[in-house]
Chains A and B, each alone.
Chain A
Amino acid sequence: MKKREKLAAPLIAVLLGLLVGMIIVIASGKSPVLLISAIVKSFCGFDILAPGPINPRYFGEFIVFSMPLILTGLAVGFAYRTGLFNIGGEGQVMVGALAATVVGILVPLPPVLHAIVCLIAGGAAGALWAFLPGFLKVKRNISEVVTAIMMNYAALYFCNYILKALPGSTQTRTVDLPASALIKSDFLKQITNNSRLHWGILVVILAVIVYHIVIEKTTFGYSLRATGFNAEGARYAGMKVERNVVYAMMISGVMAGLAGAIMVLGTFGYGRVLNTAENYGFDGIAVALVGGCNAIGIFFAGLLFGLLKVAQPLMQSMQIPKDIATIISSTIIMLVAMQNGIIFIMNWLSKKKETAEKGSEEA
Chain B
Amino acid sequence: MSYAIEMLNITKDFPGIRANDDVTLQVEEKSIHALLGENGAGKSTLMSILFGLYQPTRGTIKVRGQEVKITDPNVANSLGIGMVHQHFKLVECFTVTENIILGLEPKTKFYTTDIKSAAQRIQQLSEMYGLNVDPYAKIQNISVGMQQRVEILKMLYRNADILIFDEPTAVLTPQEIHELMEIMRNLTKEGKTIILITHKLKEIKEVADVCTVLRRGRCMGTIQVAETSEEEMAKLMVGREVDFGVEKQAQQPGKVVLEIEHLKVKNSKGLLGVKDFSLQVRAGEIVGVAGIDGNGQTELVYALTGLAKAEGGKVLLNGKDITHSSIKHRIEAGMGHIPEDRHKHGLILDFKLKENMVIHSYNEAPYAKNGLLQMAAIDRKTDELIEMFDVRSGQGRETITRSMSGGNQQKAIIAREIDRSPKLLIVVQPTRGLDVGAIEYIHKRIVQERDNGKAILLVSLELDEVLALSDQIAVMFNGELTGWVKAEETDENELGLMMSGSIRKGVGEA
- Judge if A341 is at the interface, Cβ distance under 8 Å: no
A229 contacts B350, CB within 8 Å? yes
Per-residue contact bits, chain A 232-268, to B (CB 8 Å; 1 contact, 0 not): 1111111110000000000000000000000000000
Residues of B bordering A, CB below 8 Å? 15, 305, 307, 326-328, 330-331, 339, 344-351, 355, 359-360, 362-363, 368, 371-373
| Complexed CA–CA distance, A229 and B339 (Å) | 18
CB-CB under 8 A from A1, the residues of chain B are 15
Q: In residues 209-235 of chain A, which contact B (Cβ within 8 Å)?
A: 213, 217-220, 222-223, 225-226, 229-230, 232-235
Q: A1-B15, A229-B350, A238-B328 are in contact. Are A219 and B362 (CB under 8 A)?
A: yes
A219 contacts B344, CB within 8 Å? no
- Minimum Cβ distance to chain B for residue A141 (Å): 16
CB-CB under 8 A from A219, the residues of chain B are 362-363, 368, 371-373
CB-CB under 8 A from A233, the residues of chain B are 344-348, 359
B362 contacts A222, CB within 8 Å? yes
| Complexed CA–CA distance, A213 and B371 (Å) | 11
CB-CB under 8 A from A230, the residues of chain B are 344, 347-350
- Minimum Cβ distance to chain A for residue B190 (Å): 42
Q: Given known contacts A217-B373, A220-B371, A238-B331, what 4 new A-B pairs fall within 8 Å (CB)? A: A1-B15, A219-B371, A226-B348, A236-B307
B351 contacts A236, CB within 8 Å? no
- Minimum Cβ distance to chain B for residue A337 (Å): 19
**Least CB separation from B331: chain A residue:** A238
What are 8 A-B interface contacts by the 8 Å CB criterion? A219-B371, A222-B373, A223-B363, A229-B348, A229-B349, A230-B347, A233-B347, A238-B331
CB-CB under 8 A from A225, the residues of chain B are 348, 351
A238 contacts B373, CB within 8 Å? no
Q: Which of A218, A223, A229, A236 contacts B372 (CB 8 A)?
A: A218
Q: By CB atoms of chain B within 10 A, which of A219, A234, A237 has the most?
A: A237
Per-residue contact bits, chain A 332-356, to B (CB 8 Å; 1 contact, 0 not): 0000000000000000000000000
Q: A219-B363, A238-B360 are in contact. Are A226 and B371 (CB under 8 A)?
A: no
- Minimum Cβ distance to chain A for residue B173 (Å): 26
**Least CB separation from B358: chain A residue:** A222
B348 contacts A218, CB within 8 Å? no
**Least CB separation from B364: chain A residue:** A219
If over half of A's interface residues share one DSSP class (helix, strand or loop), that class is named, otherwise mixed; here it is: helix
| Complexed CA–CA distance, A240 and B331 (Å) | 13
CB-CB under 8 A from A236, the residues of chain B are 305, 307, 327, 339, 345-346
- Minimum Cβ distance to chain B for residue A350 (Å): 11
CB-CB under 8 A from A218, the residues of chain B are 371-373
A238 contacts B348, CB within 8 Å? no
- Minimum Cβ distance to chain B for residue A353 (Å): 15
| Complexed CA–CA distance, A285 and B196 (Å) | 48
- Give 6 nearest A-B pairs by CB, closest first: A238-B328, A219-B363, A237-B359, A236-B345, A229-B350, A238-B327
| Complexed CA–CA distance, A217 and B373 (Å) | 6
- Minimum Cβ distance to chain A for residue B382 (Å): 14
CB-CB under 8 A from A237, the residues of chain B are 327, 359-360
Q: By CB atoms of chain B within 10 A, which of A218, A219, A232, A235 has the most?
A: A219
Residues of A bordering B, CB below 8 Å? 1, 213, 217-220, 222-223, 225-226, 229-230, 232-240
A222 contacts B371, CB within 8 Å? no
| Complexed CA–CA distance, A240 and B329 (Å) | 12
- Minimum Cβ distance to chain A for residue B340 (Å): 11
- Minimum Cβ distance to chain B for residue A81 (Å): 11
- Minimum Cβ distance to chain A for residue B339 (Å): 7
CB-CB under 8 A from B344, the residues of chain A are 230, 232-233
- Minimum Cβ distance to chain A for residue B456 (Å): 19
| Complexed CA–CA distance, A239 and B328 (Å) | 7
B351 contacts A238, CB within 8 Å? no
**Least CB separation from A221: chain B residue:** B373
CB-CB under 8 A from A240, the residues of chain B are 328
CB-CB under 8 A from A213, the residues of chain B are 372
CB-CB under 8 A from B362, the residues of chain A are 219, 222-223
CB-CB under 8 A from B326, the residues of chain A are 238
- Minimum Cβ distance to chain A for residue B305 (Å): 8
| Complexed CA–CA distance, A1 and B15 (Å) | 10
- Minimum Cβ distance to chain B for residue A243 (Å): 11
B372 contacts A226, CB within 8 Å? no
Q: A1-B15, A222-B362, A238-B328 are in contact. Are A229 and B351 (CB under 8 A)?
A: yes
A226 contacts B363, CB within 8 Å? no
Q: By CB atoms of chain B within 10 A, which of A1, A225, A232, A233 has the most?
A: A233
| Complexed CA–CA distance, A237 and B326 (Å) | 11
**Least CB separation from B326: chain A residue:** A238
- Minimum Cβ distance to chain B for residue A209 (Å): 14
B355 contacts A222, CB within 8 Å? yes
- Minimum Cβ distance to chain B for residue A298 (Å): 19
- Minimum Cβ distance to chain A for residue B126 (Å): 38
| Complexed CA–CA distance, A223 and B363 (Å) | 9
CB-CB under 8 A from B360, the residues of chain A are 237-238
| Complexed CA–CA distance, A213 and B360 (Å) | 21
- Minimum Cβ distance to chain B for residue A208 (Å): 18
CB-CB under 8 A from A223, the residues of chain B are 362-363
**Least CB separation from A235: chain B residue:** B327
Q: By CB atoms of chain B within 10 A, which of A217, A222, A232, A234 has the most?
A: A222
Q: A219-B363, A238-B328, A238-B360 are in contact. Are A232 and B372 (CB under 8 A)?
A: no
| Complexed CA–CA distance, A152 and B426 (Å) | 47
CB-CB under 8 A from B345, the residues of chain A are 232-233, 236
CB-CB under 8 A from B346, the residues of chain A are 233, 236
Q: By CB atoms of chain B within 10 A, which of A218, A236, A239 has the most?
A: A236
**Least CB separation from B339: chain A residue:** A236
| Complexed CA–CA distance, A155 and B362 (Å) | 39
- Minimum Cβ distance to chain B for residue A230 (Å): 5
| Complexed CA–CA distance, A1 and B346 (Å) | 29
**Least CB separation from B305: chain A residue:** A236
**Least CB separation from A234: chain B residue:** B348
**Least CB separation from A230: chain B residue:** B348
| Complexed CA–CA distance, A218 and B363 (Å) | 9
CB-CB under 8 A from B372, the residues of chain A are 213, 217-219
CB-CB under 8 A from A232, the residues of chain B are 344-345
| Complexed CA–CA distance, A240 and B328 (Å) | 9
**Least CB separation from A232: chain B residue:** B344
**Least CB separation from A220: chain B residue:** B371
**Least CB separation from B355: chain A residue:** A222
| Complexed CA–CA distance, A230 and B359 (Å) | 12
CB-CB under 8 A from B15, the residues of chain A are 1
CB-CB under 8 A from A229, the residues of chain B are 348-351
CB-CB under 8 A from B339, the residues of chain A are 236
| Complexed CA–CA distance, A260 and B27 (Å) | 69
| Complexed CA–CA distance, A1 and B359 (Å) | 28
| Complexed CA–CA distance, A239 and B363 (Å) | 10
- Minimum Cβ distance to chain A for residue B163 (Å): 31
A226 contacts B373, CB within 8 Å? no
- Minimum Cβ distance to chain A for residue B396 (Å): 15
| Complexed CA–CA distance, A238 and B332 (Å) | 10
- Minimum Cβ distance to chain B for residue A1 (Å): 7
| Complexed CA–CA distance, A229 and B326 (Å) | 22
| Complexed CA–CA distance, A230 and B402 (Å) | 12
| Complexed CA–CA distance, A225 and B362 (Å) | 13
**Least CB separation from B402: chain A residue:** A229
CB-CB under 8 A from B368, the residues of chain A are 219
CB-CB under 8 A from A217, the residues of chain B are 372-373
